[in-house]
Structure 1
Amino acid sequence: MSGDVVIDLGERPRGPEPELFAGRPRPPARWWRVALPLLLALGTLTAGAAPPTGPPTVTVPATDPADFLLLGDRLLVLQGLLPTDGAAREMVAYRLPGGEPLWRRALPDDDVPMGLTVHGDLLLVSTGSPDGEEASTSALTLDGGEPRWQRPGRALPVAGGGVLLETHRPGPGYTVRAVDPATGEPGWAVPVAAEGFAAYRYAGGGVDLVAAVSPAGRVELHDPATGARLGAADLPSVGQAGNRYLELIGDVLLVGDGTGGIAGYDVPSLRRRWALPPDPQMGWASPCGPGVCLHRPDAGVRVVDPATGRTRWADPRWSHLVLVGDRLLAEAGRPDDREDRPLAVLDPATGRVLGELGRWQALWEWPAAQPRYGLRRLADGRMLLAELDMAAARTRVLTVLPSWARRCGAQAGTLVCQAPENTLRIWHLR
């Protein structure tokens, strides 16, 4: 296998959380112009007609909830996620396409699963104490689940290879340390002061820049491959008086000032490029192609130039944008909506709508992180599956599956969904 695959079970790494503010509701996208003909065609399906024949189904046992990862001809299942469900915490591997069990490995019952990282022929399983203060990573072989090494800390893959372990130490702070993925032997380390935090920039499937931030606002940038310090500066607005919001996006470091204002600093020199005035509707920032997306909590996004801070375009409809190739996939609705939402394809430079895809729950393929499929719940409880064609800005309905499942994953034409009665259902869609 080449590259790394990650499932992170947390919302974001420990550190600054974006400060949310109330916002006014926004009108939904005009998805009905695309969806209406499809819904009319589906009327016969939901009105008592015999369901179409779907792809063959394979079922394997898995506690609900479970997390799972498709990896070539293997399905890796991490179950016993909730501390109150009474189920044993364990990793189970199944062979595809038939679902035959390959191996099973117990995990500490008193720990909380935090994430999975695949590195070469090893599976790195990170777990943490219930209070979130202590974490540990175990390396298991993909072929047999045999233990190779165990070290304190939560595993973070490094772009281009390598692994970081983020080790929390109550009171004196914590450490970001490089380890040899094959042996777990420690390498360079960066201490993070008590009440400080670390932030990471991600590219190429892993971390490609580390920022260590002290409570007084001292920011140091480090190369995750070597630990070399690339830049440092004192930014008082990062400290305890500010809202502790900090984000690395491309070649700009974004720092919140506690009032909804945000400033952009050059990476790695950390010279200030621009500052935006306070905005009570400012929520959080994210990368979105050549610009930086500034999100409002309920809906609405403003795209700014990372070099100047000038607004390139804004739209009140979208709650989430992500670059796919040379286009943006846009979702409407509230950011915390769990069901299917209106989707559209946008021009990143202007925000112009190139195509409306209808109302779907976007399903991202591993490890390419591309939104290949869309899911929609039908009135009779079944699930409509479609292919999202970003290049043509349209959808193609593939099949109707027998039951709705909120949590699904896909890879190379194989779809896995959490099903009722503590099972995972596997469909081969080729």
Structure 2
Amino acid sequence: MVIDLGVPRDEVEVVTRPTSVRQRRALASALVVAALMGVASAAAPVRPGLTAVTIQATAADEYFVDDDGLYLLRPGRDVSRAGLRTVTRYDLLDATAPRWESAFYGDGPVRRASIVDGILLSIVGGPDMQTVAVRSDTGREVWRRAGWYGRTGPGRVLLQDYSRLVSLRLVNVEVASGEVRWSHVYPVDDPVVVGSDRFVHWTRAGAAELYDADSGALLATARMPYDGDVPPQLVGDLLLVQEEAGGRPVLAAYGTDRLDRRWQADVDLRNEYIGGECGDALCVGTLSDDGLRLIELDSGRTRWSAPGWGYSYPAGSYLLANGPGGSTTPRVVLLDPADGHLVADLGEWNASLPGPDGRMLGIRESSTRALVGRIDPVAADVEVLGSLTDVFQCHASPLAVTCRKAGGAIGIWYPESRL
């Protein structure tokens, strides 16, 4: 089955969310008239409309979308001087007014932010990074500590603090309170690789020390190489290390309980990359994005390879893979993870990750116009939802599409059927 979706020839309804009684009454009257006209005469099927909301902002302001919230950051990262930073939260599907606004002092710009267990964590600063914790429901600052965060177990984060210049301090912190559970200090030049539930420290003597990221306990020690040009990666329950065997580059996999060697595969991370777990396999792509293959997690065996496809991730029971399209927008297809065969060609889309119902939103930009579609990997098809005008820098999330508008304003569009 191949689906080729072009620009729709018929107009698609885009409804602006009413914010006043007058607007609601006008919209209700229009809908009554439209319904009467529909009864009086036959009409072509109407695609679901898009609700549109505009947030006033300047081109210098930045924003990000996390789950069901949009967070507006003022000023943006271009303003590096110390001063007041403001984070404003809007509910993504009801953004007519802010949910809350929080202001805090920072030595530099907000460089990254995300929601972790109901707390907004922001990395703020210039040379010395800090993590600032703000309640995502009220905007109240809860705590701040030196270092930048990475998530470990539920309710906890691991801070990496280089502020002392001569040492690296790893600190495990309770997200809700900022309470320190444990900390380790290492020489500043010692490599450390941090994963979701493990971290590995390489000593100057060449020993790899495996730790539990939640408790801080040392689990295992083994001698293994560390290549700073191709750093090891923690993926699932494996530590992946670039090595050589017989004069050729190989990827070696070690277990994250005892650092026992599991397998090796002919993978060269100087020319390839690990895209992450794809079910019971690793997605491995080429840096030139002209090839994809699946490597089985339990054996290192290459299950299949598919030329022409690049970045991919699980979507329902398939893999959604990207490839070159006829424009700057990638071509999106569904592949069968069992053998790599093409299940459906969904056209050119910048697709979001799957939402709670498994479906995704996609955006196709062309100059100052954009097409919005809803991708259903189970049905292996795309429903075109609407066409946007006078927009640029669009992004698709599972719940909504956001774009910049003239003057820096931020537009939000989401399917009417979600109301």
TM-score when normalising by structure 1: 0.76
Report Cα offsets for 1:176-203 as digits up to 9, x if no partner. Answer: 21112222111112334322333233xx
The answer to whether the Cα contact below 8 Å between 1:260 and 1:282 also exists between their aligned partners in 2 is no
1:127 paired to 2:124: yes
Report Cα offsets for 1:118-173 as digits up to 9, x if no partner. Answer: 244432222232x5xx3111122234322221111212233433222221246434
Structure 1 residues 295 and 126, CA gap change in structure 2 (3 angstroms): same
Picking from 362, 368, 372, the partner of 1:385 is: 372
Structure 1 residues 216 and 303, CA gap change in structure 2 (3 angstroms): farther
- The equivalent residue for 1:19 is none
Q: How does 1:239-254 map to 2 (within 5 A)?
A: 243-254=229-240
SS of the counterpart of 1:421?
helix
Q: In structure 2, what residue type is equivalent to 1:332?
A: G
SS of the counterpart of 2:282?
strand
SS of the counterpart of 1:34?
coil
- The equivalent residue for 1:21 is none
- The equivalent residue for 2:178 is 184
Distance in 2, matches of 1:389 and 1:282, equals 32
Structure 1 residues 317 and 215, CA gap change in structure 2 (3 angstroms): farther
Please state how far the C-alpha of 1:390 moved relative to its aligned partner: 0.8
SS of the counterpart of 2:162?
strand
Picking from 375, 385, 388, the partner of 2:363 is: 375
Q: In structure 1, what residue type is equivalent to 2:376?
A: D
Q: Which runs of 5+ in 2 are unaligned?
A: 17-51
Moved over 6 A (4+): 85-88
Q: How does 1:134-173 map to 2 (within 5 A)?
A: 134-169=128-163, 171-173=165-167
1:97 paired to 2:94: yes
Aligned length: 373
Distance in 2, matches of 1:167 and 1:407, equals 34
Structure with greater contact order relative to length (CA < 8 Å, sep ≥ 6): 1
- The equivalent residue for 1:78 is 73
Distance in 1, matches of 2:161 and 2:359, equals 33
Structure 1 residues 338 and 118, CA gap change in structure 2 (3 angstroms): farther
Please state how far the C-alpha of 1:116 moved relative to its aligned partner: 1.9
SS of the counterpart of 2:3?
helix
Q: In structure 2, what residue type is equivalent to 1:232?
A: T
Report Cα offsets for 1:282-325 as digits up to 9, x if no partner. Answer: 32223222112332110212322233322211112111111223
Distance in 2, matches of 1:278 and 1:225, equals 31
Percent identity over paired residues: 25
Picking from 231, 234, 237, the partner of 2:223 is: 234
Distance in 1, matches of 2:149 and 2:203, equals 22
Distance in 2, matches of 1:384 and 1:316, equals 28
Picking from 293, 296, 301, the partner of 2:286 is: 296
Distance in 1, matches of 2:335 and 2:140, equals 46
Distance in 2, matches of 1:94 and 1:350, equals 43
1:398 paired to 2:385: yes
Q: Which runs of 5+ in 1 are unaligned?
A: 1-30, 46-50, 202-206
Distance in 1, matches of 2:321 and 2:396, equals 20
Q: In structure 1, what residue type is equivalent to 2:221?
A: A
Structure 1 residues 239 and 292, CA gap change in structure 2 (3 angstroms): same
Picking from 322, 344, 349, the partner of 1:355 is: 344
Report Cα offsets for 1:80-114 as digits up to 9, x if no partner. Answer: 33325999742112356252134433344641323
The answer to whether the Cα contact below 8 Å between 2:360 and 2:398 also exists between their aligned partners in 1 is no
- The equivalent residue for 2:13 is 53
Structure 1 residues 384 and 226, CA gap change in structure 2 (3 angstroms): same
TM-score when normalising by structure 2: 0.78
- The equivalent residue for 1:113 is 110
RMSD over aligned Cα, in angstroms? 3.2
